[in-house]
Amino acid sequence: MEQYFNQYIIVAIFIIIGIALPFGALTAGKLLRPKAPTKEKQTTYESGNEPVGLSQVQFNVRYYMFALLFVIFDVETVFLYPWAVAYQELGLFALIEMLIFVSLLVVGLIYAWKKKVFEWDSI
Amino acid sequence: MDNMIEQLSIGSVSLVTLATAALLLIVLVFVTYGIYFERKVIGWIQLRQGPNRTGPFGLLQTVADVFKLLIKEDTIPNNADKTVFKLGPIISFIPAFVVLAVIPYTENLYFANLNVGLLYYVALSGISTIGILMGGWASNNKYALLGGMRSVAQMISYEIPLVISMVGVILMTGSLNMIQIVEGQAGGFWSWNIFPQIVAFGIFIIAAVAELNRTPFDLPEAESELIAGYHVEYSGFRFAFYMLSEYVYIYAIAGLTTVLFLGGWHAPFAFLSFIPGLIWFIIKFCSIVFFLFWIRATMPRLRVDHLMGLGWKVLLPLSLVNIFVTAIVLELLK
């Protein structure tokens, strides 16, 4: 049990070093780089034209559909992983149960397919 | 590195910290020379020279590029959401490095031996998507917003086939522990997972390339339509961190493919097992990295209206079928 927790100390060290590098490098960069902002430099880039309006606007709903589908199938994988680990001991019964579970979700996928969620018609 | 942290003490913790810092250094060297070889290999394939001016054979080209980025002025647009803009590249980079904790190099050389190693990898690598979304949104730029949204849609769509294709490997091994997955592939190349799981391997590689936002799936940064995509407003070292996290993920995916499908540190034939496992790992790892460079040089970019169709209509049903075929075959062989 102690061994088990100790492995996560290694993970914690990875996280600390992973955080330290970008903060360290960006702080070092702050000392090295010039800072001469002008008004033109700080405008939004739009291929040389004067920027028109803001960009944080209401956006195409399609991306929300993908996010919903992603959540459904990601939750499915959360159930698939422990099932796959224990499958050799569980056997045929677990296989049929998982088939039923996955086919229920596949119905959702077919529904989205028929509703043309995966067609890309504009940006 | 095994049993290094069996006893929790200041000595063992500082030893692991040093080893982790050494790994970070190795990864940074890999990224530097990975970019160099990518440019060289693509140059050779397109009958060009590639970088050859800075240092002998152009070996210092990437070093010079990184130093140039370090001393460049860092501009943040006035309309940008400054806090989110600054956090984006950092959030994108941290998980890229932290996932490397679970990749075992040989039976004795590994960092964290987690019993949920694969799940840890999958869970953390998803966080980088948030960093990209933050960058795209906070820039307050139309190209960046489109690129960020496309990138997130692509990454979450291809993450599903990626994680489901791994279920086949888990079924074969009965474990999420990376070391046990490699040990299940011992004894010659015919016991590597790539052969019984060839469908999963194909899905995994395609989805991994899409996850890495690389050609032919580099739509989020398609130069001809979106200039640079989500990082169009980034300059200097913040831009460098987006690039760095992309290349650290190449390291992670190459390591993961080696572990899951190519037998990790095992030799392909028993009579070749006098060669140390680490060498085998490096050979397999480098072949995957070369393969990624190779397809970048040969494949054209996918059309944006085909992108989602491939992920949801082809790869996802195929990966689900693969799971059940694997499960039924395992049941029949019992």
Whole-complex ipTM: 0.86
Q: What is the pLDDT of residue B8?
A: 66
Residues of B in contact with A40 (CB under 8 A): none
Q: What is the pLDDT of residue B310?
A: 86
Closest CA to B142 of A21, A60, A13, A19: A60
Most B-contacting residue of A7, A14, A62 (CB-CB within 10 A), to test interface: A14
A28 to chain B, any CB pair closer than 8 A? The answer is: yes
Chain B: closest CA distance from residue A28 (Å): 9
Q: Supply A111's token pair.
A: 């529904």
Answer yes or no: are the C-beta atoms of B1 and B113 closer than 8 Å. no
* Averaged pLDDT, A69-93: 87
pTM above the 0.80 mark? yes
- What tens digit of pLDDT does each residue of B115-156 get? 888 889 988 888 888 988 888 888 888 888 888 888 888 888
pLDDT at B185 over 80: yes
| Mean of per-residue pLDDT scores for chain A | 83
Chain A: closest CA distance from residue B175 (Å): 5
Give Cα B292 distance to the centre of its chain: 10
Closest CA to A46 of B132, B82, B145: B145
Give the nearest partner residue to A15 out of B98, B170, B323, using CB atoms.
B98
Q: What is the pLDDT of residue B7?
A: 62
List CB contacts of B291: < 8 A, sequence separation 6 or more.
Answer: B205
In sign, the C-alpha dihedral spanning A113, B212, B115, B186 is: positive
b/e string for B53-90 if b means 16 or more Cβ within 10 A?
eeeeebebbbeebbeebbebebbbbebbbeeebbbbbb
- Between residues B13 and B245, the one the model is more confident about: B245
List CB contacts of A27: < 8 A, sequence separation 6 or more.
Answer: none
Q: Where are the domains of chain B?
A: 1-71, 73-333
Yes or no, beta carbons of A85 and B76 under 8 Å apart: no
- What tens digit of pLDDT does each residue of B51-95 get? 888 888 888 888 898 888 888 888 888 888 888 988 889 999 999
Q: How far apart are CA B121 and CA B113, in angstroms?
A: 12
Q: What is the pLDDT of residue B255?
A: 92
Give the nearest partner residue to A22 out of B90, B137, B142, using CB atoms.
B90
Work out the number of other CB atoms within 10 angstroms of the CB of residue B224: 6
Yes or no, beta carbons of A118 and B313 under 8 Å apart: yes
In Å, what is the CA distance from B41 to each residue of B62, B148, B213?
15, 29, 19
Work out the number of other CB atoms within 10 angstroms of the CB of residue A107: 10
A15 to chain B, any CB pair closer than 8 A? The answer is: yes
pLDDT at A123 over 60: no
Chain B: closest CA distance from residue A100 (Å): 11
pLDDT at B2 over 60: no
pLDDT at B302 over 90: no
| Mean of per-residue pLDDT scores for chain B | 86
Q: What is the pLDDT of residue B191?
A: 80
The set of long-range contacts for B148-153, using a CB threshold of 8 Å and a minimum separation of 24, is B148/B220, B148/B229, B148/B230, B149/A59, B149/A60, B149/A63, B150/B219, B150/B220, B150/B226, B150/B229, B150/B304, B151/B213, B151/B220, B151/B221, B151/B229, B151/B230, B152/A63, B153/A62, B153/A63, B153/A66, B153/B308
Give Cα B38 distance to the centre of its chain: 15
Q: How far apart are CA B173 and CA A73, in angstroms?
A: 23
Residues of A in contact with B145 (CB under 8 A): 55-56, 59
Q: What is the pLDDT of residue B4?
A: 53
Give the nearest partner residue to A7 out of B13, B114, B238, using CB atoms.
B114
Q: What is the pLDDT of residue B173?
A: 87
Q: What is the pLDDT of residue A2?
A: 58
Work out the number of other CB atoms within 10 angstroms of the CB of residue A115: 10
Yes or no, beta carbons of B316 and A3 under 8 Å apart: no
Yes or no, beta carbons of A7 and B5 under 8 Å apart: yes
Yes or no, beta carbons of A56 and B145 under 8 Å apart: yes
- What tens digit of pLDDT does each residue of A26-67 get? 888 888 888 888 887 788 887 777 777 777 777 777 788 888
Give B306's pLDDT tier (boundaries 50, 70, 90): confident
Yes or no, beta carbons of B139 and A8 under 8 Å apart: no
Q: What is the CA radius of gyration of chain B?
A: 21
Q: Which amino acid is at B145?
A: L
Q: What is the pLDDT of residue B285?
A: 92
